[in-house]
């Protein structure tokens, strides 16, 4: 073989090796999965599909540098557990691909925040808005005949979350998996802050208990599938939507910071990122 051919072959092999190593580094990344509490709607600045309302300052982006792996953010506002497996329609343009498609055997870290849309959390909050602070539209709607409809929904979602976690393990068997729960929306005690958060004095403790029940369910599913649990709720106590704009991590019905209504703002995302990065460092 001529020396020029040998040189060409050597260069080709070197380039192929470099590209292969680059692809391996990219594959061995951090993949966040989840809904709007992962994606960060209206938190500056938007990235990815517009219909997903994904922010460059959501908790995955803020945590990625500390985790030390390339980021492939698959999260999308409005996602349910089913959208981990199937495309999510976005109204205009192409759908968001199944979020689990972003995983492979080389993925090293996966985080997941999911379940809120499965129980219909946005509709629940809208139903619980009260013009009268002494009423109880929330409990009247969801608790009847000794049956707690929201509690029943949370129990029904548990096996769906477990199914997602098992699918993550199957597709990314070498990954460390972190379940990040939901932050505090209302103060840890007391009767809320009507009208800033227009939930009645009677309904506020009930709604707070449902968020905590949802988070306990997520913790249980994490433990049952070998995932690690990141307690965003505990970190967010004292930073609920009733706090001043300079302190809160979750915005009230009418936001005072860049974030969607009753969603985490940039401070909240930073709080989640710190909790996740701390867990990933252990």
Note whether residue 91 is domain-resident.
yes
pLDDT in tens, 225-238: 999 999 999 999 99
Note whether residue 151 is domain-resident.
yes
Note whether residue 13 is domain-resident.
no
| Lowest pLDDT segment from 25-39, 134-148, 189-203, 220-234 | 25-39
Note whether residue 111 is domain-resident.
yes
When pLDDT is averaged across residues 272-280 and rounded to a whole number, the result is: 98
Q: Is the pLDDT of residue 19 over 50?
A: no
The CATH number linked to 80 is 3.40.50.1110
When pLDDT is averaged across residues 97-126 and rounded to a whole number, the result is: 97
pLDDT in tens, 39-61: 999 999 999 898 999 999 999 99
What's the per-residue H, E or C state across 122-161? HHHHHHHECCCCCCCHHHHHHEECCEEHHHHHHHHHHHHH
Q: What is the dihedral of CA 104, 105, 109, 112, to 10 degrees?
A: 50
Whole-model pTM? 0.90
Whether the Cβ atoms of residue 123 and residue 137 lie closer than 8 Å to each other: no
Q: How many domains does the chain have?
A: 1
pLDDT score recorded for residue 169: 98
- Distance in angstroms between the alpha carbons of the first and the last residue of the chain: 54
Range of the domain at 199: 29-280
Query: Which residues are part of the catalytic machinery?
Result: 36, 263
Note whether residue 228 is domain-resident.
yes
| Lowest pLDDT segment from 18-22, 96-100, 180-184, 239-243 | 18-22
Q: Please give the angle made by the CA atoms of 267, 108 and 271, to the nearest 5 degrees.
A: 10
Note whether residue 1 is domain-resident.
no
Residue 148 neighbours by CB under 8 Å, 6+ apart: 142
pLDDT score recorded for residue 17: 34
Q: Is 180 helix (H, G, I), strand (E, B) or coil?
A: strand
């Amino acid at each position: 073989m001529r020396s020029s051919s040998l040189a060409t072959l050597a260069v080709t092999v070197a380039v192929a090796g470099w590209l292969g190593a680059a692809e391996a580094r990219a594959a061995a990344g951090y993949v966040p999965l989840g809904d709007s509490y992962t994606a960060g709607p209206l938190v500056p600045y938007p990235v990815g599909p517009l219909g997903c309302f994904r922010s460059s300052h959501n908790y995955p982006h803020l945590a990625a540098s500390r985790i030390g792996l390339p980021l492939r953010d698959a999260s999308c506002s409005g996602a349910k557990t089913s959208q981990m497996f199937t495309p999510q329609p976005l109204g205009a343009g192409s759908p968001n691909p199944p979020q689990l498609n972003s995983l492979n055997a080389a993925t090293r870290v996966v985080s997941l925040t999911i379940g809120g849309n499965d129980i219909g959390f946005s509709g629940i909050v809208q139903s619980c808005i009260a013009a009268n602070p002494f009423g109880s539209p929330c409990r009247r709607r969801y608790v009847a005949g000794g049956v707690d409809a929201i509690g029943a929904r949370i129990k029904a979602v548990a096996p769906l979350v477990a199914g997602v976690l098992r699918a993550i393990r199957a597709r990314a068997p070498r990954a460390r998996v972190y379940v990040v729960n939901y932050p505090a929306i209302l103060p840890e005690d007391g009767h809320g802050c009507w009208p800033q958060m227009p939930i009645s004095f009677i309904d506020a403790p009930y709604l707070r208990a449902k968020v905590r029940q949802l988070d306990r369910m997520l913790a249980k599913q994490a433990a049952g599938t070998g995932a690690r649990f990141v307690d965003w709720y505990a970190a967010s106590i004292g930073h609920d939507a009733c706090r001043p704009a300079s302190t809160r991590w979750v915005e009230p019905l009418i936001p005072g910071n860049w974030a969607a209504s009753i969603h985490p703002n940039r401070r909240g995302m930073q709080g989640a990122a710190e909790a996740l990065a701390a867990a990933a460092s252990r």
